[in-house]
Structure 1
Amino acid sequence: MAGLRSIILRSPLCRRCFTSKVSFLRSISHAMLPKSKIFGYTLFTGFGITWYLDRNLSIYAKDLSDVNILKEADNLYTSENDPRELYNFLIKYEDSANADILWRLARSARDLALTGTDVSSDEKKALTYKAFEVAKRGLEIDDRNWGCHKWYAIVLGDVGDYEGTKIKISNAYVIKEHLEKALELNPKDATTAHCIGVWCKVFAELPWYQQKMASILFAAPPSSSYEEAIEMFQHAENIDPNFYSVNLLELGYCYKMVGDTKRAMLYLGKAAKYPSVNDEDRDAAIKADKLLAELLAQSKA
C-alpha cells in the first residue's frame, strides 16, 4: 500500500493542479469522505487520507478475494473432479467470516463424507461434524443466508445418525424450520423443496416405535403425510423440472403409496430413463424399475 501512497503523492495531477501535496490530499478527502468525517481527516491531511485509502482498498481486496474463492468453488463443484479437491480448496478458508464460503465448505465436507473415495469411517464422522460446525458458524454470522439454513438443517440430520434415534427425532422440528427458512429466503432452490419433501415422507412412514418415542419427546410429535410429501416434491419439480432423478423417484413412490397409479408410473418412468451421470442416478433408476414392476404386477392381478 506504500506504493499507492507514492503514486498519489507524486502524480502529475498533484504537481500541476495544486501547490502542495497537502492541498491535493485535502481535496481528495473532501470528495471521498462524508461531511461528518472531513474535519477530523483534514486535521491530519496526508495521514488521514492514506489511512482511509489503505483501509477501504484492503476491504475491497478482501471482497474481491472472496468473489474469486466463491467462483473457483462453484467451478469445482460443477466439475467431475473428486469431491476431495473442492474440500481441500475450501478448508483453507474455514476461518472466513463470509457465510457464502462457509456453507459451501459445509456442503463439500458432507459430499466428501458421502461420496469420496478412500474415506474411512472415522474420517466420514469427522467430516460430518466439521460440516455441522462450519454451517452453524455461518448461520451465526448471517442468519439471513439461505445456504447456511439449508446446509445446517441437512448436516444436523447427518449428525443425528451418529447420536441416535432419540436425538435425530428431537432435532426434527429444528431441521424443518431451517429448511422452510431457506426456501423462504430463496424460493428458487428446488433442492430445498426436495429436502422438505423427504422430511414429510420420513414422518409419513415413521415406524410405530419411533412414533412412540416422538410422543414422549414432544407434546405434539412431528407428523406428516404422503400428500404433503407429494406437494413439496411437486413444488421442486415446478421450480426446476427434471432437476434430480431422486425427486422423480420419490414422487413416483409417494403417488404409488396414495394409490394414484397413473401418476406413479409417469414419474417412475421418468426416473428409470433419467440420464445416469452418477451412482445416485443409477440407484434411482434401479429402484424405479423395481417399483414399476410391482405396479405392473398389481395391474395384472
Structure 2
Amino acid sequence: MSFSKSFLVGIGTGLLFGSGVTILCIRLQRVAREMDSLSNAIAELATQMSVLAEHLSTLRGFKQRKKRNEFYSASSGDEDEIFEDANLSFISSDSDISKGSKNRSTEDKILDTHVLFNKVEKLFEGDEKNQEEAFRLLSRSAPQHSADCGFHWRMSKACYLVSKIEKSRDNPAKAKDFLQQSVDHASSSLKLDEKCSSAHRWYAISLGSYGEHLGSQEKIKNGFLIKDHIQRSIDLKPNDPFNHHMMGRWAYSVYMLSWMERKLAATLIAAPPEAKIEDALESFLIADRLRPTIWKENLLYIAKCNIELKRLDEVAKWLEAADAVPVQTKDEEEAQKEIDQLLPKYQTS
C-alpha cells in the first residue's frame, strides 16, 4: 500500500472509532508509514542495483570489445575511444529519490549511447549489409549526438565504409558523396575534441581517400596535413598498431612516387612531401610488434619494403607469413591477390 493510501485510511479509522482508538491508529499509521517508506527504499535500491549491473556490464563490453581472436585487419581497428566508468549513487532518502528520478534519464541516455556504439562497432566488422546497417543506425541517432565526438568519428568511419561499398557497385557519384560526408564528420569530431586519437585518424583516412577527387596541387598539400594528423593520432595513442600502420602506408606511398610525379610535385609546391623506405619499414615493424604476425596487410607491406631494400630472404619470410593468415575481409582479399602475385617470385623453395 502506498504512503498516501495508508495516510487516508488512518484518518478514516480515527474518525470512526474515537480518541482512544485514534491514538493507537496514529501509532499504527506511523509504523505503517515507516514500513511503507522502508519498502519503497528497498525497491528503489533493487532498481538502482539492476541499472548499475547493466551499466557496468555494458562498460565492460566496451573495454573488452570483441576483437578477432586470431587475426587483425587494417579495416578493423579503433578505435576505440572507450568510455570512462560512470558512478551511480544509491538513493537513501525521499529528497534523494526525487533527484535520482531526474538524473536517471541522463544515465539511461548515456547507457543507450554505449549500447549504440558497441552495436555499431560490431557491425563495422561484418559484411557490407552489416556496415550499411551501422550507417543507418548512426544516421537515425544523429539528432541526439550532434555534440558527441565519438558519434562523429564513427559516422566518418561508417560513411567511408559505405563509400567503398558504393564504389564496388560502380556508383562513383554516391561514393564521392559519402567520402565528403566522411571528411565532414571527421572534421566535426576534431572540433569537438582535438585530443581524440580516432578523430585524427579518421580525418587522415577520409581526407586521403577523397584525394582521388582533387587536383594534383591540392592533393600534394593535403599530404602534409594527412601526415600531421596521423602523427597526432600516434602521439595520443602510441600503442595502437593501426596508427603506426597508417604512418607506414603514408611513407611508403610517398617513397613510391615515380620520378615524373616527383617532378610534377616540385613544380606545384616548393617542398613536396618526402619519405624514406626505412621509415616506412620501421612503422610497419612497430605495428607488427604491437600486433605480431597476424595482420595480413601489415605483413605484406613489410615484405614490400624489403623488396625495395633488396633483402630477398626477408621478403620470402614475410610473404609466407602474410599468406598464412586467412582471408576474412575485402581488404584482405585485395592483399591476398598481391601476395599470390609476389610469392612465386620470391619463395626460396
Higher relative contact order (CA 8 A, sep 6+): 2
1:118 CA drift (Å):
4.2
1:133 CA drift (Å):
0.7
Distance 2:153 2:123 in 1: 15
1:164 CA drift (Å):
2.4
Compute the TM-score of the two structures, normalised by the length of structure 2: 0.67
Residue of structure 2 in register with 1:23 after alignment:
none
Pairing of 1:17-32 with structure 2 (within 5 A): none
Q: Is 1:84 aligned with 2:132?
A: yes
Paired amino acid for 2:335:
A
Distance 2:346 2:114 in 1: 50
1:279 CA drift (Å):
3.3
Please list the CA deviations of residues 220-247 of structure 1 after superposition, one character each: whole Å capped at 9, or x if unmatched.
Answer: 3210011111001111101111343111
Distance 2:109 2:333 in 1: 42
Distance 1:80 1:61 in 2: 30
Q: 1:115 to 1:247 in 2, by over 3 A?
A: farther
Q: 1:118 to 1:206 in 2, by over 3 A?
A: closer
Distance 1:245 1:164 in 2: 32
Larger radius of gyration: 2
Residue of structure 1 in register with 2:229 after alignment:
178
Q: Is 1:284 aligned with 2:335?
A: yes
Aligned residue for 2:325, secondary structure, equals: coil
Decide which of 115, 133, 136 is 1:68's aligned counterpart: 115
Aligned residue for 1:143, secondary structure, equals: coil
Residue of structure 1 in register with 2:190 after alignment:
139
Compute the TM-score of the two structures, normalised by the length of structure 1: 0.77
Residue of structure 2 in register with 1:211 after alignment:
262
Of 170-179 and 234-243, the range deviating more from structure 2: 234-243
Please list the CA deviations of residues 168-187 of structure 1 after superposition, one character each: whole Å capped at 9, or x if unmatched.
Answer: 11101110111111112112
Residue of structure 1 in register with 2:158 after alignment:
108
Residue of structure 2 in register with 1:267 after alignment:
318
Distance 2:301 2:267 in 1: 29
Residue of structure 2 in register with 1:29 after alignment:
none
1:79 CA drift (Å):
3.3
Residue of structure 1 in register with 2:285 after alignment:
234
Q: Is 1:161 aligned with 2:209?
A: no
1:218 CA drift (Å):
4.0
Q: 1:64 to 1:127 in 2, by over 3 A?
A: same
Is contact 2:197–2:236 with CA below 8 Å preserved after alignment?
yes
Return 5+ residue gaps in structure 1 as ranges: 1-5, 7-11, 18-45
1:208 CA drift (Å):
2.4
Is contact 1:274–1:281 with CA below 8 Å preserved after alignment?
no
Distance 1:173 1:185 in 2: 19
Q: Is 1:250 aligned with 2:308?
A: no
Q: 1:64 to 1:227 in 2, by over 3 A?
A: same
Decide which of 268, 271, 274 is 1:223's aligned counterpart: 274
Is contact 1:106–1:151 with CA below 8 Å preserved after alignment?
yes
Residue of structure 2 in register with 1:36 after alignment:
none
Of 234-243 and 79-88, the range deviating more from structure 2: 79-88
Distance 2:160 2:191 in 1: 19
Identity among equivalent positions (%) equals: 25
Is contact 2:179–2:206 with CA below 8 Å preserved after alignment?
yes
